[in-house]
Structure 1
Amino acid sequence: MADISITELKQRLQAGETPTIIDVREPWEVEESRIPGSQNIPLGTLPTKLDDLEDLKDQEVIVHCKSGGRSASAKAFLTQQGFTNVRNLEGGMLAYGS
């Protein structure tokens, strides 16, 4: 699945959509800034949360981090676990906040 741009995500949020957004940063990073409606699952804990995410396997899931590196790893991991529609937020929070 193609990654998602900041512009597309912001347009969708402004239109009232509520996509599933998983923030794979650490909790202290989320305290500094976050995308409204996102849920925080740090990358290191993602494997232990798979059961909680089972219902999302065939739905769009947007993953993000600070710059896109950790979320690229999260996308690869989730895809390996059978998730069919995982999209990485291009540029992460660095791009989102600008």
Structure 2
Amino acid sequence: MLLSIQSVLALLVILAASLMPTWAAEQEPSVAWEKIDRGVMLIDVRTAEEFAEGHIDGAMNIPFNNIVPELAKLNITKDTEIVLYCRSGNRSDMAQKSLVKQGYSNTYNAGGFNSLISTR
């Protein structure tokens, strides 16, 4: 079975879109700030050292690799609205994926710290 060039290109576009990181679709500073301003749980998933160098007021520091057990320790319900950020959006994406895998249903990857504060 031979596929036309258009069919192959369409399949490649679909494949590329499916491989894009989930944070690429999020990370809208205006959406993140709307949520933050409403007082949702804000978590900085960078290291403690990065957090100490600067963070968004009201943020809690939980490194991305500890996010699931720490939220369980804090008895955070799985429908709690949570905004996550890091330096670039990569670690917050990993944290978000871990949370979603555990059944958390209301998370938002806000992306990178500098991107967020530059829009405020």
Check whether TM > 0.5.
yes
Asked if 1:3 corresponds to 2:23, the answer is no
Q: How many residues align?
A: 95
> Which SS does the other structure have where 1:97 is aligned?
helix
Aligned residue type for 1:68: G
Task: Extract unaligned runs of 5+ from structure 1.
Answer: none
Residue 59 of structure 1 and its aligned partner are, at CA, apart by: 1.9
Distance 1:96 1:60 in 2: 18
Q: Point out 4+ residue stretches in structure 1 off by more than 3 angstroms.
A: none
Task: Extract unaligned runs of 5+ from structure 2.
Answer: 1-24
Match in the other structure for 2:100: 79
Residue 49 of structure 1 and its aligned partner are, at CA, apart by: 1.1
Question: Greater relative contact order: 1 or 2 (C-alpha under 8 angstroms, separation 6 or more)?
Answer: 1
- Which of residues 79, 86, 89 is equivalent to 1:68? 89
Distance 2:91 2:49 in 1: 15
Higher radius of gyration, 1 or 2:
2
- Output the TM-score relative to the length of structure 1: 0.81
Asked if 1:97 corresponds to 2:117, the answer is yes
Asked if 1:22 corresponds to 2:43, the answer is yes
- Output the TM-score relative to the length of structure 2: 0.68
Distance 1:76 1:12 in 2: 19
Match in the other structure for 2:4: none
**Percent same amino acid at aligned positions?**
32
Residue 96 of structure 1 and its aligned partner are, at CA, apart by: 1.3
